[in-house]
Structures are given as C-alpha cells and as structure tokens.
Structure 1
C-alpha cells in the first residue's frame, strides 16, 4: 500500500474485469494497467505503441525543491544535440530551462536554454519587425546581407586597440550573417507557429482546437515539441507544476497524471508524424523532485479508482523513466534473453518495503549520477556510448562493464542526426 495500490490491485494480481494481470506493456515498458499516466499516453499515441519502448530507473531525490540537479539538457548538448535555431529551450526562465537544477559541472552559459512555453515564444525567435512586411522576404534578406557587407567594410577600417580585435569583429559579422540567414530560412514566422500546424491542432491534429485553446500545458507542450522534433532546438524541457498532490485523495493526482500522459503522448505522436510521416527518433525523459507515499486508505471515487490516497512526501519511493520512439520498429533492449533484458529495462530495484534500494546502482542515491545515466543512455541510442568517458571524464558511473549494465537499448541511429 505504500506505493498507492491495495492488495487486490498489485501488478501481479488478476484483474477481474479482464482476467489478466494489472501489467500493461503496450509501450514496451511495463505500466500498471489502470495508470492514469498510461491512459494519457494511449489517448494521444496508441497507434505508435509498436514503435516505442522504455526503461525505468528507481532513484531517490529530495522532495519539493528545485535544488535537485535533475536536468540533463546541458549534457545532452555536450553529447551532440543541437538545433538549427538554438541549442536548448525550456519552459522556465532558469539556468536549466526547468524547475530542477542542472548539475553544476555540466552548465555551459553559452547555451543557456531559451524560455519557450507558448506559441508566441516560438514565433518571436525569428521576428524581423516590419522589414519583411514592407520589402518582402527576398528583398529583406538582400538588405540584411548588404548591411553585413557595409558593416564589415567599416569595421575593417577601425582599430579597436584590444588584443581580441579580430575575434570581436568576427563575432559582430557573424551576428549580421546569422540574422540574414534566419530571415532567409524563417522569413515567415507562421512556419514555426505550433498553433498553425495541422498535425498539432485541428480536426486531424493531436490536440483539438478546444483542448489547445483551453489548456496552457498543451500549448506549452506543443511549442516545445514543435521546436525539438523539427530540429530547430537540440533538446527541450517541459516543466509541469501542481504535481505535489498529497491532497487527501487520489483523484487529484490521477487527473494530473492523465494530463501529463497526454503531453507525453503528444510528443511521441508528433515525432511519428514528422518528416512527412516518416517519423524522427525521440527520447523523452520523465523526472520529478522526490515522490509521495500512501498510508493505505483508498479513494473510491470514480477518478480515484479505489487506489491508495497519496498521504505525504517520501523521496524513497521515487523513480524516473524514459521512453524512446523509433520510426518503423520498437527499440531493442540489450541482453541475450528476457531475464537479461529485464535487468536493462529496470535499472535498479526496490526493497520489499517499497523503498528504493540505494546501493543498487550509482544512479539510485545521487541525482547527478542519475543524470549521467540518462546521458549515457542517450548516447547509446546513437551508438556513441564509447565516447562517454571522453566527453565526461569525471563521471561517476564506474568502468565499462558497470556502464553497460546501466544501458537500456541497442542503438537506433548512427551518430548525431
């Protein structure tokens, strides 16, 4: 009951409604069959289930604080993720792009995440003011290129009297060139607008117009996924608030999990629709600061579903997980058979009392090592795990054999895409 399930709803119990267990593996990774998070993912991405797999990492972190160094984005960027417009984005105006911190040793101020949590944040990235409206895109680009050349001629005749004279001039010139290039490629900001993308919003879209208009979390998700899936940004963070849900019932948490699941499913579905329907690979990492526990009392309301009431915070029941979409086929777990593959799909384990076994893996008791484990798995999907020690020489994941045990999947692409 500590994990919120009465005895007759344990995963290995028989569900009288289906005469099967409560374990659902539609998306490769096992979910409880009545999971609201699972239902949300199914709502948006059920048709892609055979192309998705996932892994879970039992790992504790402190409750209700942004001080957990959970965010892996700087490490993902160091591993090679980059975008045609910018490297990183996030829905919070913070150094990590989210609520939780990034590990200090990974932070690179030069690629600090740009805040994106609504469609106007996306279109605003390529705002050229009135220039294109007055001149048209081609003429506007020509004017901007001319400005770059005139500025270069002027700068060539200026002595800044500083040691880095050439570097400063080159940076100024690059700024003009980049502005002209952005105007050339994205002169019409509507091409970036998630609210105008028929795959995202509308009759055939992932979100109905009503869903999109009335839920800021869906608009936030649409904005970030539009940028990342299309390669405009290398990686993005979507931070969702209100999940500290020990509210004296179970229903509140279930409804919020359903909402989060729909956001996760939307990202997976959009990745499948990208590339003119050919799809692009996508890894989604789900984490939270700390966790909750139940005292065994149940919520028998319709939304509560007879599950345990979330009573209070408990970091020992926490875990993080990631899902991977691979166009055309389900990502394949490492391991020679089902028993070995299970060890790669669940990296670590819980004790009999429902608490994380903190000695099971390096990730289990140190959040910064959890982040390193996630980055290692990201690199392994690109067949670049052997470069991990070179890029992160001070890592704490041990030798090659231990790192192999912390890796879930075989590669799905070769190198950075």
Structure 2
C-alpha cells in the first residue's frame, strides 16, 4: 500500500461510523538498513484535531477506507523525536539508488504476520528530470540511502499531490503542523491560487511567516489571488514599508480595493467588508442572477443574495437600489428583472459602523451578508457573517481550533 494513496481516505470505527480521515503515516526510521516500522496513522477528527491510531488496531486498509477495532484515543497527536511522518517528511527527499541521484515520490508499506507493518519499497524518479512514462521505478528499501540525512532544501511536489483532494481549510491544518522550514518548501511549490486559498485559512502568524519567505514579486501575485478583504487583513499585519512595497508590486486594479479597505478601521463595516459581492444592474434577469450565484468558487454567504446597483457595478458602484435574496430568485420567473423585486426596506450598513452594530444588524434581520453603502448612496462592498465571526472570536481562534488538545 503506497502511503500517498492513503491521504484523505475515510477512517471507520468497528460500528461503521466515520470518525475522520487519514492525514499521514507515522514510521520509525532505523540507523541501519533495516526496514522502518510503521507505528500508526495520523487521523484528522472534527474539529481539525490530529489523533494517533496505532497500526496494530487497524483491521482493514483498502483504496477508500481504513477500519480499526477498539477505541480511538482522542488525545492530540504530538510527534516524537524518533518518529517520522511518511507523507510530510519522506516524500520529495533526495535519495541515492546504486550511487545515482533520485527523488522519492512515494513509499510503500506492507503487513507482517505479527499484524505490524513496515516500509518495504520506495517509488523514485531521477533527480533533475521531468517525469516521463517509464522514468518512475520502484525499488526495495534496502537499495535506498539518504533518508537519514538532513536535507537543506526539500521539494514538496509529491506531498502536495498526496493532499490534492483536501479542501483549503484542511490542508491549512496540515501545513500548520509542519516545521517552519517544511512550510516554506510547501508554499514555494504550491501555485498562487491554491496558496492564496490556504493562507486565508491559516493563523495570522503562519500567514506572515509564509508570505515573508516568498520573493516579493511572488508574494504580490499571491496577494492578488486572495480576496481583497483577506489580502488587506494580511497586509495589515506587516510593517508599513513592506506593506507599501507589496502594494506597489501588485497590479493597480488589484491593489486599489485593498488600499481602500486598509483605510478603514479594522473593527468597522468598512474594515470587515469584501469589495467583490455579486452586483447586477437593475435590467438583469433572475436567470442571470441565478447563474452568478451558482458559481462554485463563490463564498456561500455571498451567494445568498445579489445586490442591485446603477452602473458602474464595480465597487464603488452607482446608486445602490437594494438586495434580492436567493429565495426570492427561486420564486420568480427567469425572465423577471431584478430591479423590480429588490428588497428596499432593508437598510444598508455604513462603513464606519462598529463590529457590534454590524453583528446586531445581521442577527436582527437573520442575514448572512449585508451591503455597505457610503453617504452618496454608492455600494462599497458587503460584510459576510464569516468575517463577523472571525473578528468576534479571539484573535488566535484559528490556532486554538488547530492546536486544541482537550477531549470533547
């Protein structure tokens, strides 16, 4: 069983209830050439807690499920000095086979008669060459050298491929657990869009650390791929000179909304809002509105309504006319014009309103998002419930969710 194939598969208890998903495989490397012992699996259980499942408790491992017997200890997994994480630390290592340089792209484990498992084989490809058909080979563990040597700069392509199916929030949890060196290597290997999605889910300290290790041009590209509100929050944590340098490197049309957000106090509607809600002119149809909110990349809170404004429809817009909730869109014929079904009774937020006022507004009217409009009637953006919760919770709440070790 190649370990990269285990990443993300479901883990079930003896009753058939899913308890989590596999994150990694814990192994014990040996000082000689003997095969490493597999100690167990790191399993992510809700909410984002890694726990240890001893391999001796595992009864079944197949392509889409791991089944174990007994009880799962919910104490948070803490890696010991003698332990190695197969996916996070062994993949992408530079190794030698018969004196030639290779990259380890996967390792395979096999069971023993004692119900233990060991690492038996390694899949490798030649170092420095593009992967081609026939280039990957699988060799016995005894033929490999190099896993016990500290590596100054390790790749991350195979690690990223193993976790490709993970949602950004779950992959952020994995990256948070890595060493700072390994975090930097993974960030360098991720594409801009994927890294931007992951940064939005990480604690602020991790965000700043990762962004600071990137080349300034690359950092600017990643910021452009983030939502303007998330980019503004991250830039707000940086020193002023570094912040200004990054803003200058960003494309002007990407930097402008971020600068506008940075001009508002953090705990105000202006500081909380995103500048990219769904905005349509009044002569758009219900069919066009539904097509907009079907976008799978759209935040669910933003997809709950469309905002109707006079042109231009880029923020800051022409005059704000009102909101159309998605339930109303579902009730009206596709040809209906959104300008005729707007909710005009709902007052918009002002950019200087406090966090508490914004939270109260959402609670009173049972909203997941609300428009922010200036004194001239132009829409500046929208505040979503997730951003309100983000600011109402303690500053380190993301790290608390990731690091909590208390039993429920």
Is TM more than 0.5 here?
no
User: Which has more radius of gyration?
Assistant: 2
Q: State the TM-score, normalizing by the size of structure 1.
A: 0.25
Higher relative CO (Cα under 8 Å, sequence separation at least 6) belongs to 1
What TM-score, normalized by structure 2, do the two folds share? Answer: 0.26
**Which is richer in strand?**
2
